[in-house]
Amino acid sequence: MRRSASLSGPALMIGAVLLALLFTTGILLIAGAPPLEAYRQVVLGSLGSTKKITDVLVAWVPLLLATSGLMVTFAAGLWNIGIEGQITLGAIFATGMLRLTLDGGLPPGIAIGAAILAGILGGAVWALLAGLLKAYGGVNEIFGGLGLNFVAVALTVWLIFGPWGRPGVASMSGTEPFPDTFSLPALSGLRLSPWAVLLGVGGYLLVFLILQGTTFGLRLKAVGKNPRAAFLLGIPTVRYMLLAFVLCGGLGGAAGAVQVTAVYHRLIPSISSGYGYLGLMVAMLVNYQPLWMPLVAFFFAALNLGSIQLPIVLKLDSSLAGVLQGALVLFVLAVEGIRQRLRRPQAKAAE
Amino acid sequence: MRVELRDIHKSFGPVHANDGISLTIPAGTIQGILGENGAGKTTLMKILSGFQRADGGEIWLDGRLADIHSPQDTGALGIGMLHQDPLDVPAMRVVDNFLLGRAGGVRPRRRQAQAALHELAERFGFALDPEAYVEGLTVGERQQLELLRLLWLGARVLILDEPTTGISALQKEALFASLRKLSQEGRTIIFVSHKLEDVENLCHRVAVLRRGHLVGEVASPYDTDRLVEMMFGRVVSLGSRLEGQAGKRVIELEEIVIEDRRMTIGPVSLQAAQHEVIGLAGMEGSGQQSLLRACAGLIRPVHGRLRIDGEDVLGRSYHGFLRLGVAFMPAARLEEGLIAGLDLTEHFALTRPQPGLLVQRQVAQERTAAQIEAFKIKGTPTSLVESLSGGNQQRTLLALVGQDMSLLLLEHPTRGLDIESVVWIWEKLKERCRAGTAIIFVSSDLDEILHYSDRIHVFFGGRVSPSLDARTTTVDQLGQLIGGKGWPEVSA
């Protein structure tokens, strides 16, 4: 009874994946592209070699961090659309800290550590803003978050072209790259940094532990499922809601810091790479349960990376990954919705 | 128009809201429908007006079988319903609201509507400014607007659901005068109410409903005692009150006034001591629930003093009250009391957290199993609360309240429960009372109020009676007070 929803989960997922593939195949046929070849390219482009797989992991880490954060806000019943801005602010704070330490002549290890902590702080502050707007300003977190996302992007562009611009040649390509020593050390010959993976997995495990085993997590869930009853049972709901925002923002900020210290080595205009929105999709796809989340996040990261091949080999746009990801989420949600619709009359008849 | 209801049936799950009701209303009659909360009045009217579909039965209008599927159908047939909460759009102007629901071309005929509104308002002596915004109107004015709108749409049968709640005495007079005028024109008026005086003043005939059945019909002039008896039925024995000595005073209200959306409640002075049970009686929405919530710190009174254990606590938060030992149990078990999606173990872990950060599932389950045993809850530690029956949810709510509370505030503690559960829950409550807890509870069940309370306060439209001794109060007296009669005697 209790687990019935998740028991039929795998069958549901397979059905939805097949439908999404069918849908995407249809799109490819309409576009006049060979579907099988396109899929082969995506698989080769993401899993074709060890190098490729480590490249997927490079994208997986920030996605994992952002989605882990979203698990917390979803548990508290919050739609933290502002995650994009929180990633961006994390990147801005991390960049700012690196610039400071670069000037101050601190050893790289300490500088990078400080940059990541600053990133966590930046994301947390940005999320707290959305939370305060909701709690005290009556602004729904979806609208507040969306607004703050635009502000964050504007802030990035201003910094890149203004105070942090490259001397003389400020451009959309971003700020002056940091010296190699001021990056998280990568494996030799690869782009992947084991430190970043450690951070990502650590963030995920922290969230998993909080949600599955702590009183704090249980209370968050209570607030998410029924804030009124939680309040009447004595839980300070506003405080818990704000804490959920801060936690999620911190993890999003960590994702932004990873983008700066391990991926781009500088601040670029679209530093969040859309991992926040992608994370929302991953969270919806796993029905807000953390167990399968890393796997699905890996799958999404692989799709993103694999589709980079398409324009080169098949003259197709790389947005195919987005089509497949979006279709997947829509079909899973639709199939789940239809299943509940079908089940309801039966439950009534059984009464 | 002559309205005939034949053998109307409607069930909501296990509740038979209308159980074979047949009623004939001749044209030009003002027909009263009387009954306590949950008697099935509103359900019957929603079926007649097309807002709900009956499970069985027929509706005949002027000798023709009517095929009713939606409010649009009934509108075309000439049936209009004035709801308890007006169905208007507050952010729009009076005249635009007036136009709503009128079939018409692309461009609303504003000028024509304005003229019609003016003429109708004049006829009934209503003062409505067509350009005013509805959100600025009183409940009575919104009701007038809705009434005129229904008439303009051509309603020949008007259904009014508790129309005298929240309007002024003057507005009530105006309303009654216009209803009389309309009935003389041959329109049929159905007046749903629990207010004896209003029904007696206005209606030509009254049909009394109780628990889904039509108990009987009476024509004017009325015998109030007979109506009360028909409404509430005979008394069945439930158990007895705890006859104990009142101890230390726990809560004290002094001249408390609460501003509700609809009315002003109070001033009320009330107190409860250890071992005492205070019952708050009245029809739903007479102010008793707001007062109970004010005692819990959920609503802030605008005037008066509130002391708990002698300490002035007015203005503190609900959680502040909770820390002082005041527990509140809401009537809406799954909306406000319990958290659907969490199991019993999680509920007990929430309200009584273990030391340390981590929840030890094993320990929590053992503690939950003990509570399940003590409160005879039919379920397991991993049962989701929404899978429990109403009675078991109520037991769970009770079990969640800490044993060391000094004051229990209960909203309809046994609503919807079978008699066995009712008696059992009260045994548990009396146990706590013996241990020194004070209880204040709201109920619409007169038997429950009379049997378990030491003292009673009756609420009627925000007015609160002084405390009545439950031992010397009868069902009839209570029924009359709830219906708004006999107040001068108790207020003196």
Return the pLDDT at A4.
Answer: 42
Nearest C-alpha of chain A: how many angstroms from B402? 11
- Whether A215 contacts chain B with CB within 8 A: yes
Q: Which long-range CB contacts under 8 A does B165-172 form with residues at least 24 apart?
A: B165/B84, B165/B262, B165/B285, B165/B461, B166/B139, B166/B140, B166/B262, B166/B263, B167/B138, B167/B139, B167/B140, B167/B143, B168/B138, B168/B140, B171/B138, B171/B140, B171/B141, B171/B143, B171/B144, B172/B140, B172/B198
Task: Report the chain B residue with the minimal C-alpha distance to residue A220.
Answer: B350
The Cα–Cα gap between A171 and A160 comes to 7
Question: ipTM value of the model?
Answer: 0.83
Q: Which uninterrupted H or E stretch holds B169?
A: helix B169-184
Of A6-20, B190-204, B244-258, the least confident: A6-20
Chain A residues lying within 8 Å of B358, measured CB to CB: 213-215
pLDDT band at B240 (very low <50, low <70, confident <90, very high): low
Do domains B3-232 and B236-325+404-492 share one topology? The answer is: yes
10-residue block means of pLDDT along chain A (351 residues)? 47 82 91 88 90 94 97 96 97 95 86 96 97 94 96 95 85 87 88 94 96 91 94 94 97 97 94 94 89 93 88 81 88 83 53 34
pLDDT band at B126 (very low <50, low <70, confident <90, very high): confident
Chain A residues lying within 8 Å of B354, measured CB to CB: 215
Contact call for residues B147 and B181 (beta carbons, < 8 A): no
Task: Report the chain B residue with the minimal C-alpha distance to residue A228.
Answer: B336
pLDDT band at B305 (very low <50, low <70, confident <90, very high): very high
What are the CA-CA distances from residue B408 to residues A180, B155, B273, B326, B413 (Å)?
67, 49, 11, 6, 11
B20-51: pLDDT as tens digits: 999 999 999 999 998 876 788 888 999 998 88
Q: Which CATH class is domain B236-325+404-492?
A: alpha beta
Could you tell me which of A278, A279, A334 has the C-alpha nearest to residue A23? A334
Mutate to test the interface with B, among A2, A218, A220, A239 (most CBs of B within 10 A): A218
Mean pLDDT of B179-185: 92
* More confident site: A74 or B472: A74
Mean pLDDT of B140-162: 88
Token digits of residue B429:
């409550």
Return the pLDDT at B106.
Answer: 67
Task: Report the chain A residue with the minimal C-alpha distance to residue B293.
Answer: A232
B367-382: pLDDT as tens digits: 999 999 998 888 899 9
Of B89-98, B177-186, B196-205, the least confident: B89-98
The Cα–Cα gap between A111 and A91 comes to 14
- Whether A51 contacts chain B with CB within 8 A: no
CATH number for the region B3-232 comes to: 3.40.50.300
Q: Does residue B419 carry a pLDDT above 80? A: no
The Cα–Cα gap between B51 and A113 comes to 64
Model's pTM, two decimal places?
0.79
Return the pLDDT at A188.
Answer: 85
Mutate to test the interface with A, among B339, B367, B383 (most CBs of A within 10 A): B339
Contact call for residues A252 and B366 (beta carbons, < 8 A): no
Cis bond before residue B267 (omega within 30° of 0):
yes
Could you tell me which of B433, B34, B96, B20 has the C-alpha nearest to residue B224? B34
Query: Beta B311-312 vs B303-308: how paired, if at all?
Result: antiparallel
Q: Does residue B173 carry a pLDDT above 70? A: yes
Mean pLDDT over each residue of chain B, to the nearest integer: 87
Token digits of residue B452:
């378990």
Return the pLDDT at B294.
Answer: 95
- Whether A277 contacts chain B with CB within 8 A: no
Chain A residues lying within 8 Å of B382, measured CB to CB: 2
pLDDT band at B241 (very low <50, low <70, confident <90, very high): low
With b meaning 16 or more CB within 10 Å and e meaning fewer, what string describes A40-52? ebbeebbeeeeeb
CB burial class (10 A; 0-12, 13-18, 19+) of residue B154?
exposed
Percentage, residues of chain B above pLDDT 70: 95
- Whether A154 contacts chain B with CB within 8 A: no
The domain segmentation of chain B, as residue ranges, is 3-232, 236-325+404-492, 339-403
Chain B residues lying within 8 Å of A215, measured CB to CB: 349-350, 353-354, 357-359
Mean pLDDT of B100-127: 80
Cβ–Cβ gap B339/A226 under 8 Å: yes
Task: Set out the domains of chain A in order of their start, with CATH numbers.
Answer: 61-305 (1.10.3470)
The Cα–Cα gap between A256 and A276 comes to 10
